[in-house]
Structure 1
Amino acid sequence: MASIRLDDPVEIGGLTLRNRLYRAPLLECAGTGDDAPERLAAELEPAARAGAGLVCQGATIVSETGGCAAPGMTRVADPAFVESLESVTDRIHGHGAAIAVQLEHGGLRSMETWHAGYRRDNPNLQQLAVSRPPRLLRLLDTLGFLDYDAHVLTTDEVYELAADFGRSAALAVDAGYDVVHIAGANMGIVHQFLSPFYNRRDDEFGDGVRFLEVVADEIREQAGDVPLMTKVPAETAAPPGIRPRLTEDDAIDICRRLDDAGYDALVPVSGSVFWDASIVRGSFPARAWHDDRYRDGYADAFGGRIRARLVELGNRLEATWYEFEPAWNAELCRRVRDAVSVPVFCEGGIRERGHIDTLLGDACDAVGMARPFYAEPELPARLLGTNVSGDERVVCESCNNCAVPQVTGAAGVCRTPSVLRRAGSLKMEGAYDEAPEMHAGDADDPVG
């Protein structure tokens, strides 16, 4: 059997992507103002122009209020606003790429839990919760680091939330989005349904997969037969002693059930039960924490300078615990790929073209990158094409200086001088000037 190459097309749910490299979801910080479509296009179009097969718009909130896990998230609840996003999808399609919208609700991870300034400005907002917050999180509430006023969803309200996902998907499809991507990991509300750490319900949704099944039904009913994908978490990186949690075997079983439920692609990821450095891994972002431009923003977010320093200390400890490991989700993806019939997408710590080639056809069917696009918006131009050597490596150093300032509402950009110098040198050398040659028919339509 011929080996699978990054340049080969891949099909998900009847949609043919021109290749197997995708821009994974990131926080675009575009908001929902009049300038949001242009800001989104400016963030997403470079990846499409450079040859990516699929470009994912990051976590996009399905509710009209609340549910944002970080400042600047875009909402897709207002029909008039979502219609304006057709300008974004048109620009992506103009380069022959497909575009996915990742639908999200933060639940207990929302800003009304952790962002002190946001809580102060929105005193009447409650978090939506799958069950009463776990005891450990209630302790952090007692100590003042979090602020829980959680509303536990009734069975009827769970169905209403699933319908919100369906309505948002329908609006997005009408605006030209090709794929609906459910944010099923990183401690959002979908993850909270799946996780036994969070979910202690005694109704049908005590089986967390049931929520994703109902979401799929709502999307099919309201948005039609759009390709549907989701992240699936294993909580293997949770600190010792944290129980109960999702094992790898649990995640594989969830993937089997979602395959049966009609999901067209799966993205297995390993992490913790908390919103912590297990999501990104890598170095402690000292430059970002010590940047005077963000000190006031950190204090506002975390409830004062002392508490901001305590969060910084926690981040330092997490960076030691969650060291960077290349392609840290590869083994989980490999096990899932052996168990399901749909494509498996792998992301998390993938940094080299040669490594990508070993993953394809073994651990996964497509590979995604996220943070490297902050430093190299047109990264696919260097990784795709018939003339690559296999030695190509992203300039990203996984230092996380791009991520921490986002709690203040700052844009997601690379802030590390050595990385920016390398990207600048590559640009001067013309490394991003031309997109790789595409397969016949891809230039006009991502379906091919």
Structure 2
Amino acid sequence: MTALTDPVDIGGLTVPNRLYRAPVLECAGNGPDAVDTLVDELEPTAESGVGLVFQGASIVTDRGGCAAPNMTRVHDPDFVADLERLTGAVHDHGGRIFLQLAHGGLRSMSTWHAGYRERHPEQRQLAVSRPPWQLRLLDRAGLISLRPAVLSTDEVWDLAEQFGRCAGYAADAGYDGVHLSAANMSLIQQFLSPFYNRRNDEFADGVRFLEAIHDAVRDHAGSIPLVTKVPAETVAPEFVRRHLSRADGLAIAERLAGIGYDGLVPVEVSTFWDMSIVRGAFPDRAWAASDLQNDYASVFGSRLRARAVALLNRFQARRFDHDPGWNADFCRAVRERVDVPVLLEGGLRTRADCDRYLGTGSDRPAADLVGMARPFYAEPRLGARLLAGADALCESCNNCTIPQVTGEPGRCRTPSVVREQGRLTSRGAYERNSSDE
């Protein structure tokens, strides 16, 4: 049997336990306070005993590619070198930290953020192929704005090389590993997905792009552990005929393990950036916040459009199930076919579910590590309580997520949860026992 507190090996790196903070927006940007923001956000997680911390999606290019405001770019080696203060802080607490590398492609802000388009009228979105007709229809209706720049074969190779260069910068700054954002409508998912990828060159096989990134990472960062998300587009809308099935996802996972990826994060997603990413309740408190109404209007183009997005958000909140560990069946199937660690995330909130999916009881294990993301907005030092056997306070209300489209930092906005976190802090619930060190 495997326990949450057991160490685990990822690509030759020993992680002290099997609990990880999944990638989530830190909203640090690249300004003069960016490193301080990241340290303030992530060091408490390591201090609380979490074995592995993923710094959230960080953009590999010097322009475009951001799927949300205030994402951090890691194309500049001088900036990444300053992040040694972050990696050192995590290491001081015995933790490990991976950098997630990303690019938004057609999900970039110039597609959906009206205010961003006004400030960057020249911006185009990197595209795998001509956008699908569904997106072109939304463009003609004025709901989004498409200005795709379809990548040539040489440009794809150059982009893979850029992922590798950024991995090299990360290794030099003390990061323990690299994680690729290959889901949630990222550019890498767009390469893998038949919904987006209609190419007629070697990259018509989207795994070829991930193979090129793998080789570039090895060239620039040596044997640093490399993990990636593996999407299955099983919750795509019915009008999307071409998408990745779970069988497709399993085949991709097997190929990636064979290529040399050191860990896999299987996730069941949509072809779009929707509530399949953050399943749970409709975030009524966030949408109703009086101090954000003007910001929402600026983001979406008008108050009327903001209300339309909110209505769509409400519909989707009803559509997606929120069973804890909703990726578990996919993870278990992948785990039975590959010989590298499988990481499970998606709706986990209790210690019992963590133990169950690790196979601590009688259930077949679904994963080798288990992760949470949004609960750390409410409890930055959540690890101490989870490792001691308690449950997360997070109610999956999603009120932390919607304000991030305006550039707001991720934080819990549910008063009852905030009050309870304060009570637990005053009682010393987030202090680690000496036996946990």
Q: TM-score, normalised by structure 2?
A: 0.98
Which one of the candidate residues 370, 375, 378 is aligned to 2:381? 378
Match of 1:433 in 2: 431
Which one of the candidate residues 209, 212, 218 is aligned to 2:210? 212
Report the 3-state secondary structure (helix = DSSP H, G, I; strand = E; otherwise coil) of the residue aligned with 1:437: helix
Q: Is 1:37 matched up with 2:40?
A: no
Query: 1:34 and 1:234 mapped to 2: Cα distance?
Result: 39
Query: 2:260 and 2:33 mapped to 1: Cα distance?
Result: 36
Query: 1:302 and 1:380 mapped to 2: Cα distance?
Result: 36
Map 1:244-323; keep pairs closer than 5 Å.
Answer: 244-323=242-321
Map 1:394-413; keep pairs closer than 5 Å.
Answer: 394-413=392-411
Report the 3-state secondary structure (helix = DSSP H, G, I; strand = E; otherwise coil) of the residue aligned with 1:102: strand
Report the 3-state secondary structure (helix = DSSP H, G, I; strand = E; otherwise coil) of the residue aligned with 1:55: strand
Q: After the TM superposition, which of the residue ranges 173-182 and 419-428 deviates more from structure 2?
A: 419-428
Structure 1 position 222, deviation (Å): 0.8
Match of 1:138 in 2: 136
Match of 1:446 in 2: none
Query: 2:379 and 2:63 mapped to 1: Cα distance?
Result: 33
Match of 1:424 in 2: 422
Partner AA of 2:376 in structure 1: F
Match of 2:192 in 1: 194
Q: Deviations over 1:355-414 (max 9, x none)?
A: 1111114100000000000001001101114xx3xxx22100000000000000000000
Query: 1:345 and 1:408 mapped to 2: Cα distance?
Result: 30
Q: Deviations over 1:238-292 (max 9, x none)?
A: 1123110111111010000000010000000001101000001000000000001
Match of 2:341 in 1: 343
Report the 3-state secondary structure (helix = DSSP H, G, I; strand = E; otherwise coil) of the residue aligned with 1:215: helix
> What RMSD over aligned residues (CA atoms) do the two structures have, in Å?
0.9
Match of 1:356 in 2: 354
Contact 1:51 1:436 in 2 (8 A): no
Q: Deviations over 1:120-161 (max 9, x none)?
A: 100111000000110000010011111001000000000000
Report the 3-state secondary structure (helix = DSSP H, G, I; strand = E; otherwise coil) of the residue aligned with 1:276: coil
Q: Is 1:108 matched up with 2:110?
A: no
Q: After the TM superposition, which of the residue ranges 342-351 and 376-385 deviates more from structure 2?
A: 376-385
Structure 1 position 434, deviation (Å): 1.7
Structure 1 position 436, deviation (Å): 6.6
Q: Mark the runs of 5 or more structure 1 residues left unpaired by the alignment.
A: 444-448
Q: What is the percent sequence identity of the aligned residues? A: 58
Query: 1:229 and 1:323 mapped to 2: Cα distance?
Result: 27
Query: 1:355 and 1:320 mapped to 2: Cα distance?
Result: 23
Contact 1:228 1:263 in 2 (8 A): yes
Report the 3-state secondary structure (helix = DSSP H, G, I; strand = E; otherwise coil) of the residue aligned with 1:339: coil
Structure 1 position 293, deviation (Å): 1.3
Contact 1:71 1:408 in 2 (8 A): yes
Map 1:56-205; keep pairs closer than 5 Å.
Answer: 56-205=54-203
Q: Is 1:329 matched up with 2:327?
A: yes
Query: 2:352 and 2:303 mapped to 1: Cα distance?
Result: 44
Query: 1:64 and 1:129 mapped to 2: Cα distance?
Result: 17
Structure 1 position 354, deviation (Å): 1.1
Partner AA of 1:379 in structure 2: L
Partner AA of 1:369 in structure 2: M
Contact 1:381 1:436 in 2 (8 A): no
Match of 1:241 in 2: 239
Partner AA of 1:257 in structure 2: R
Query: 1:69 and 1:48 mapped to 2: Cα distance?
Result: 26
Query: 1:324 and 1:26 mapped to 2: Cα distance?
Result: 18
Query: 2:182 and 2:111 mapped to 1: Cα distance?
Result: 19
Query: 1:408 and 1:296 mapped to 2: Cα distance?
Result: 10
Q: TM-score, normalised by structure 1?
A: 0.95
Query: 2:325 and 2:294 mapped to 1: Cα distance?
Result: 35
Query: 2:339 and 2:243 mapped to 1: Cα distance?
Result: 26
Structure 1 position 420, deviation (Å): 1.1
Structure 1 position 294, deviation (Å): 1.0
Partner AA of 2:31 in structure 1: G
Q: Mark the runs of 5 or more structure 2 residues left unpaired by the alignment.
A: 360-364
Partner AA of 2:379 in structure 1: E
Partner AA of 1:365 in structure 2: D
Report the 3-state secondary structure (helix = DSSP H, G, I; strand = E; otherwise coil) of the residue aligned with 1:180: strand
